[in-house]
Amino acid sequence: MASHIVGYPRMGPKRELKFALESFWDGKSTAEDLQKVSADLRSAIWKQMSEAGTKYIPSNTFAHYDQVLDTTAMLGAVPPRYGYTGGEIGLDVYFSMARGNASVPAMEMTKWFDTNYHYIVPELGPEVNFSYASHKAVNEYKEAKALGVETVPVLVGPVSYLLLSKAAKGVEKSFDLLSLLPKVLAVYKEVITELKAAGATWIQLDEPVLVMDLEGHKLEAFTAAYAELESTLSGLNVLVETYFADIPAEAYKTLTSLKGVTAYGFDLVRGTKTLDLVKSSFPAGKYLFAGVVDGRNIWANDFAASLSTLQELEGVVGKDKLVVSTSCSLLHTAVDLVNETKLDDEIKSWLAFAAQKVVEVNALAKALAGHKDEALFSANAAALASRRSSPRVTNESVQKAAAALKGSDHRRATNVSARLDAQQKKLNLPILPTTTIGSFPQTVELRRVRREYKAKKVSEEDYVKAMKEEIKKVVDLQEELDIDVLVHGEPERNDMVEYFGEQLSGFAFTANGWVQSYGSRCVKPPVIYGDVSRPKAMTVFWSAMAQSMTSRPMKGMLTGPVTILNWSFVRNDQPRHETCYQIALAIKDEVEDLEKGGIGVIQIDEAALREGLPLRKSEHAFYLDWAVHSFRITNCGVQDSTQIHTHMCYSHFNDIIHSIIDMDADVITIENSRSDEKLLSVFREGVKYGAGIGPGVYDIHSPRIPSTEEIAERVNKMLAVLEQNILWVNPDCGLKTRKYTEVKPALKNMVDAAKLIRSQLASAK
């Protein structure tokens, strides 16, 4: 029985790629240095999978930024502003598209389906001159082959690539991206032909958009595309992989009818209804790659349940046509439990990271073939039983408090207009008030102090002193820049979710459970294993300290319950919304303590609320109902004069704008600049927004410093669709990933732009 891995984490067990990328970007190492680190990581990954017995090992899943940008490079679809003139695309052009450079901005970045991973959105139009401009897929296949490892080259499928793209600036919004299919397929044919010539016998085409709600003409594009590729694919075994959700019946019918396709991969963890489709009609003679090992979470597989499912499928598709697989790429999980020193043995026994999931896939394949590892299966059953019965998982008082939430929608007593009036009397802000999103740059020295304090090498007294000095520096800088509503800079926090999870019960933390979010940015999601509560105040000490340093309003900074949920590895033994309500109650306690501590502006970030939106429209209403309700729970008890902010970033918001309004926050700051100000279009189309709103005026994920004039132009665009008395001026997101040499001039220009427009508005009266 064969086994398959859809994809694997790239960063390395100790984030080797992250550090290599940042060293290269800072000019401290060469392209050759970066390529050597990358090659060493790829070699180790292929060797690990091969030694575990994996038959279908992926290649070309190792990206220096993301796999969609790799595909853009492969197709030569470089926007003109980057000065690409043809030939093999180098790292300079590649990283300029991803990060921008001194003269031009980066391409838009958005979430990869409903994950916390991001991709660079292709900008396409009728004038794009597609050409075979990156031979990475073929080169990596040859690289693995030279190491004695036969791999399955993985490409983002042509239809998914186009449907994940956007019309470039200046191109009519009505432009049909699928009209570019013939040009794109011409390049795919070249790539596939070259892979065949190199000796590839299998190829994997990822077409994840098939799990979305697709109109008929989009499904027809799949039929047309694969019919066009059929002769080129001849002689290859072709796997079309889908993941993240159930595949709709019509899409399943389209997929299983595609010409030239040998095998179909399905997510059978998040796509349980797909099982019924497979059982009712699976094409004879085709392979089923059954994704029974969860690629999105870190809980150990239930071997007995998975084996039962596989045995049932074996009766449908045939013993020689069933392949045991992961539900999606393991990119979304941590790398290896072996590196974990912080987790106790009990919790560790409940988990499986990427390396362990490779073992799980192969153990299931061997068991299905009649070579069951009885000791491994017994240990698995014991771990599952331990988790079910552990007293650490259940807290009856928390469950009762969450159950008592039913029957109320937890809205604040007065409407937002009346609250804003009360807040303005207290805060006395100018029109177009300026603020930042929360974090300030995290210097090497700051990280060192925090790291040494955790390692007990620095006393608590010295740690507090160092943090106080950093907060004072950030407060003084903001006052010098004349920012209106200040933040303390979050020097005590490495990560906005990890910081809170470490102080909440029901959470466990890893030492090296890093997961890539975008580029070199890695996060370390906490593990929610049990009922959640707040033993004591988490942020009041720092926020009150910061407020004592200034007469200006100081924001208390919290992460919202939906974002904590969506950016954690969440327990899978109860519905997600029940866990979210528990987190909401914990954050509610913190909000009320901040208010008692004299903090009059409290930001509850919900950066990931849109990210968790289910991929199928039929599931949207239920998710948005409990997600928005969870946010309202956190702040329903504060006074009218306490201003509640929230923040959202790097997702498409227009389709949930009414739910955003229903959150009933007093002010929302929201990413806008990197996505070509698409957010503003919703207001142009007549949506009325009465609360405060701060669409981001510059992209913080690029080192580029915007001019005062550029920011002023953005603000004027906002004033064309939003009332001046509700508009705020702020960056797109937090500043922790930037350097002070970038942050100071960018914020100065932002404040100058706000003042410029204030004076223009005053003189126009």
User: Which positions are annotated as active-site residues?
Assistant: 701
The β-bridge partners of 601 are 555, 643
Q: What's phi and psi for 305, nearest 5 deg?
A: -65, -45
Q: Which of 673, 518, 508 is nearest to 116 (CA)?
A: 518
517 neighbors 523 (Cβ within 8 angstroms)? yes
Q: What's phi and psi for 726, nearest 5 deg?
A: -115, -5
671 annotated to bind ligand: yes
572 annotated to bind ligand: no
261 neighbors 240 (Cβ within 8 angstroms)? yes
| Pairing assessment for the beta strands 505-508 and 527-533 based on DSSP bridges | antiparallel
The tokens for 699 are 């992209």
590 annotated to bind ligand: no
Q: Which helix (H) or strand (E) holds 187?
A: helix 181-198
How far is Cα 202 from Cα 140, in angstroms, rounded to an integer? 14
445 annotated to bind ligand: no
697 neighbors 131 (Cβ within 8 angstroms)? no
Residue 570, amino acid: V
Dihedral over alpha carbons 445, 447, 449, 453 (to 10 degrees): -170
286 annotated to bind ligand: no
580 annotated to bind ligand: no
How far is Cα 505 from Cα 535, in angstroms, rounded to an integer? 7
| Contacts of 289 by beta carbon, 8 Å cutoff, 6+ apart | 4, 56, 239, 241, 263, 264, 265, 266, 323, 325
Q: How many CB atoms lie within 10 A of CB 171?
A: 16
Dihedral over alpha carbons 660, 664, 665, 666 (to 10 degrees): 120
DSSP helix/strand/coil, 670: strand
How far is Cα 299 from Cα 512, in angstroms, rounded to an integer? 16
Distances (CA, A) of 174 to 618, 657, 676, 730: 26, 22, 16, 31
456 annotated to bind ligand: no
How far is Cα 67 from Cα 120, in angstroms, rounded to an integer? 9
4 annotated to bind ligand: no
How far is Cα 297 from Cα 189, in angstroms, rounded to an integer? 35
Q: Which of 713, 708, 670 is nearest to 689 (CA)?
A: 670
336 neighbors 356 (Cβ within 8 angstroms)? yes
How far is Cα 554 from Cα 474, in angstroms, rounded to an integer? 12
- Residue tagged 């500043």 (tokens): 735
| Contacts of 419 by beta carbon, 8 Å cutoff, 6+ apart | 412, 640, 641, 643, 666
Buried (b) or exposed (e) across 495-516, using 16+ Cβ within 10 A? bbbbbbbbebebbbebebbbbb
Q: How many CB atoms lie within 10 A of CB 193?
A: 13
| Contacts of 527 by beta carbon, 8 Å cutoff, 6+ apart | 298, 347, 351, 507, 508, 509, 510, 513, 568, 569
328 annotated to bind ligand: no
517 annotated to bind ligand: no
Q: How far apart are the first and last CA of the chain?
A: 77
647 annotated to bind ligand: yes
439 annotated to bind ligand: yes
502 annotated to bind ligand: no
How far is Cα 375 from Cα 416, in angstroms, rounded to an integer? 61
116 annotated to bind ligand: yes
Q: Output the DSSP codes for 719-731.
A: HTTS-TTTB-B--
Annotated binding residues for 5-methyltetrahydropteroyltri-L-glutamate, written as ranges, equal: 18, 116, 521-522, 567
Annotated binding residues for Zn(2+), written as ranges, equal: 647, 649, 658, 662, 671, 733
Annotated binding residues, written as ranges, equal: 18, 116, 437-439, 490, 521-522, 567, 605, 647, 649, 658, 662, 671, 733
